[in-house]
C-alpha cells in the first residue's frame, strides 16, 4: 500500500475528524466522562509515570511556590485512578482526557513513529473487584478495537482512502511469541505476529519471559504484569498492535491493562527494587484501598491519525522538532512535516 496523497489542508481536516470521531466512539462504548487533566504535576506526590526508570521528566519551579518542584507528565497512568476516586465514579463508568506529554529522552526519533511530544487519549474505567480477570480485559480490548475500525471506515469514506484493518483482533501472550520465534528480538516477533494476524493484543508486557528478558518495559505501579504466572499465561495487561501496510511493520496504537491492587503493587515494586515509592501519597492511598480497582490505558492520537491516514511519518500529522537527518530524508521522500 502506498502512502496517501492528501493535501496539507485535507490532512489537517482529516486529523480533526479522527480526533473528534474516535473520542466520541470511545466514550460511548466504555461509558466514559470527559475531564480536564494536568500538563504538569507536583513531583512529591508519586503520580508521575516513571516509564522504564531512566527517562528524565522536564522539571521546573514556580517563582511563587519556591519550595516545590513540578514535572511535565510522562503520562497520566496513576493520576487517572486518583481522579476516579476524586470524582466518585462508580464501577462501570470511567473518564478520559487529552494527555500531552514531553519525553526529551526519546531515543527513536529516526524511526518515523516516535516523537518528543506525546499526545494520547488517556482513559480509566472503574471496575468491580470480580471483574479483575482476563475475560474482562479482552472484552474491553475488543470494544476499543471496534472504535478504531469504525473510525477508519468513516475517515476512509470521507477522504477517499481504502480501509485495511482486519475484522477482528487476536490475543497472544508474549511468552508464546518467544516460543514461536526464539531467535528474534521482541520487536521482530511483533512484526511476525502482526503480519500473520493483522491486529493483535500482546499480553504479559513487563514481566520476565522464560529467557530472562522483558518483551517491553512497563512501570511497576500501574499495570498488573505479574499475574500471568497465576493465570496460566493469559495476562492482565498488554499492547494493541496492527500491521501497518505503508511501513510494512508492526505498529503500536495503545498500551493498557487492569491495574495493580495493593498486593500486586507491593510485589511488583519489590521485583523492580522500587519499594521506596511506598512513601509517596499516591502509593499510600492504594495500599490503604482508597483508590478504586480499575482498567485503563492510553491510545496515541498522532499514532492513530498516522495509521488511519496511511502516512509514512508521524511528523505528517503532528507538529514537532526533528534531527536534521529526519528533515533531509522527509524532503527527499516528498513528505510534508507539520
- Which residue numbers are catalytic? 49, 103, 120, 239, 252, 255
Is residue 272 within 8 Å of 278, Cβ to Cβ? no
Is residue 244 classed as helix, strand or coil in its secondary structure?
A: strand
Strands (E), 103-219: 117-126, 170-173, 199-203
Count of other CB atoms within 10 angstroms of residue 104? 11
Cα 271–107–183 angle (5° rounding)?
Answer: 65
Strand pairing report for 294-300 and 249-258: antiparallel
In angstroms, the CA 122 to CA 78 distance is: 11
List Cβ neighbours of 60 (8 Å cut-off, separation of 6 or more): 40, 69, 70
Calpha distance 200→179 (Å, rounded): 17
CA distance 303 to 151: 14
Cα–Cα distance measured from residue 188 to residue 185, given in angstroms and rounded to the nearest whole number: 5
Amino acid at each position: 500500500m502506498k502512502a496517501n496523497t492528501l493535501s496539507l489542508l485535507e490532512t489537517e481536516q482529516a486529523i480533526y475528524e479522527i480526533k473528534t470521531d474516535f473520542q466520541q466512539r470511545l466514550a460511548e462504548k466504555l461509558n466514559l466522562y470527559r475531564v480536564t487533566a494536568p500538563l504538569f504535576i507536583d513531583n512529591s506526590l508519586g503520580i508521575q509515570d516513571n516509564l522504564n526508570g531512566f527517562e528524565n521528566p522536564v522539571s521546573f519551579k514556580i517563582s511563587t511556590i519556591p519550595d516545590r518542584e513540578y514535572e511535565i507528565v510522562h503520562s497520566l497512568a496513576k493520576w487517572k485512578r486518583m481522579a476516579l476516586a476524586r470524582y466518585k465514579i462508580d464501577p462501570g463508568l470511567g473518564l478520559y482526557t487529552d494527555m500531552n506529554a514531553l519525553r526529551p529522552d526519546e531515543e527513536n526519533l529516526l524511526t518515523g513513529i516516535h516523537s518528543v511530544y506525546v499526545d494520547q487519549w488517556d482513559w480509566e474505567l472503574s471496575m468491580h473487584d470480580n471483574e479483575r480477570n482476563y475475560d474482562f480485559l479482552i472484552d474491553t480490548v475488543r470494544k476499543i478495537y471496534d472504535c478504531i475500525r469504525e473510525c477508519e471506515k468513516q475517515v476512509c469514506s470521507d477522504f477517499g482512502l481504502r480501509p485495511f484493518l482486519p475484522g477482528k483482533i487476536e490475543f497472544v501472550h508474549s511468552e508464546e511469541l518467544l516460543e514461536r520465534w526464539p531467535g528474534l528480538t521482541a520487536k521482530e516477533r511483533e512484526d511476525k505476529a502482526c503480519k500473520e494476524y493483522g491486529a493483535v493484543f500482546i499480553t504479559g508486557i513487563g514481566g520476565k519471559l522464560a529467557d530472562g528478558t522483558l518483551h517491553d518495559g512497563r512501570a511497576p505501579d500501574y499495570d498488573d504484569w505479574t499475574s500471568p504466572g497465576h493465570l496460566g499465561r493469559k495476562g492482565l495487561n498488554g499492547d494493541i498492535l496492527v500491521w501497518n501496510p505503508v511501513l510494512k511493520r508492526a505498529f503500536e496504537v495503545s498500551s493498557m491493562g487492569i491495574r495493580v491492587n495493593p498486593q500486586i503493587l507491593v510485589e511488583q515494586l519489590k521485583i523492580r527494587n522500587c519499594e521506596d515509592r511506598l512513601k509517596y501519597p499516591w502509593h499510600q492511598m492504594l495500599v490503604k484501598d482508597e483508590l478504586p480497582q480499575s482498567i485503563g490505558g492510553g491510545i496515541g492520537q498522532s499514532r492513530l491519525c498516522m495509521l488511519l491516514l496511511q502516512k509514512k511519518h508521524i511528523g505528517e500529522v503532528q507538529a514537532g522538532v526533528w534531527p536534521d537527518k529526519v528533515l533531509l530524508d522527509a524532503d527527499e521522500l516528498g513528505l510534508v512535516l507539520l
